Structure 1
Amino acid sequence: MKFQFVEQFTVRDYECDSQGIVNNAVYLNYLEHARHVFMLTKGVDVPALAKQGLDLVVIRAELDYKKSLVSNDKFYVGINFSMKDRVRFQFHQSIFRSHDDALMVEAVVLGTGVNERGRPKVPREIVEKLMS
């Protein structure tokens, strides 16, 4: 599969639960970190936008767990960005184990921008940067 962006990771011991596998909630951290790095590489600085009165927020996350990562596994997160409608965007993200490209997690994360008055807003210039 072709992705707009790929970020590499390694599982750390403390991310695993008592079964020796990555805790399901940790996958959300991996996905979030990959999204933030992706946006930075596209020139979208989330903390700077917040200081300007625009918060980019997640409004829904749907994850399908396929297999489990374990300590020291190397893996990568692939991202594709698209607009769902005028004020909502979505990240299609997949996590793959590096040594065999096994699909571990598929996710769709839906978000929007919220202005200072709490109204949804996604400026065109941000969309253009993330689509390029």
Structure 2
Amino acid sequence: MSDYDFRLDLEVRDYECDMQGVVNNSVYQNYLEHARHEFIKQLGLDFAELTRRRINLVVVRAELDYKGSLISGDRFWIGTRLEKISPVRFGFFQDIFRKPDDRLMLSGKIIGTALNERGRPRVPEEIQRILSR
């Protein structure tokens, strides 16, 4: 649990739960995306500015392993680790842990790339620097 580049703490809101009283499976992807966006900001990248420059960060693959269910009011944290996968792909390895027992609730692998204005994979210099650290 200590090999993450970034950690984000959150709490489950009532409206994120389904009729069974647990967080709906699709909401976990929102949690992971929010953590990735916050991580990108911490790295000094501006998602909106990249988009204005016609550099679009996109997800090309998502693998989610559900280990348990969060319920309304649960506090949890998301650990995120970034790795270079190939010259044009990067991976976010993300885990969600329930507090206070740090039980693993979800393990995810999100593969992304950057697309240029023609829709072709091209990872800009500022992201290459981050991936090379």
TM-score range, shorter chain: over 0.9
Name 2:12's counterpart in structure 1: 11
Confirm or deny: 8 A CA contact 1:12 1:71 kept in the other structure. Answer: yes
Contact 1:81 1:131 in 2 (8 A): no
The number of residues matched between the two structures is: 132
Secondary structure at 2:50 match in 1: helix
TM-score by length of 1: 0.96
Counterpart of 1:8, as a letter, is D
Listed as ranges, the gaps of 5+ residues in structure 2 are none
CA RMSD of aligned residues (A): 1.1
Closer, same or farther: CA 39–131 of 1 in aligned 2, 3 Å: farther
TM superposition shift of 1:128: 2.1
- CA spacing shift, 1:10–1:130, aligned 2, 3 Å: farther
Aligned residue for 1:65?
66
Q: Distance in 1 between matches of 2:128 and 2:6?
A: 15
Q: Does 116-125 or 63-72 show the bigger shift?
A: 116-125
Deviation, structure 1 residue 41:
0.5
- State whether residues 60 and 109 of structure 1, in contact with CA within 8 Å, keep that contact through their aligned partners in structure 2: yes
The residue number in structure 2 matching 1:93 is 94
Q: Distance in 2 between matches of 1:59 and 1:34?
A: 17
Conservation of the 8 A alpha-carbon contact between 1:44 and 1:129: no
Find the aligned partners of 1:108 and 1:36 in 2 and give their Cα distance: 15
1:38 matched residue in structure 2: 39
CA contact (8 A) 1:79 1:91 kept: yes
**Distance (Å, rounded) in 2 between the aligned partners of 1:45 and 1:64:** 29
| Unmatched 5+ stretches in structure 1 | none
> Greater shift after overlay, 25-34 or 116-125?
116-125
Q: Could you tell me how far apart the structure 1 residues matched to 2:130 and 2:32 are?
A: 20
* Cα distance in 2 between the residues matched to 1:17 and 1:131: 41
Q: Identity of paired residues, percent?
A: 52
Are 2:24 and 1:20 aligned?
no
Deviation string, structure 1 residues 71-128 (Cα, Å, up to 9, x no partner)? 0000000000001100000000000001100000000000000000111011232132
Q: Give the letter for the 2:104 counterpart.
A: L
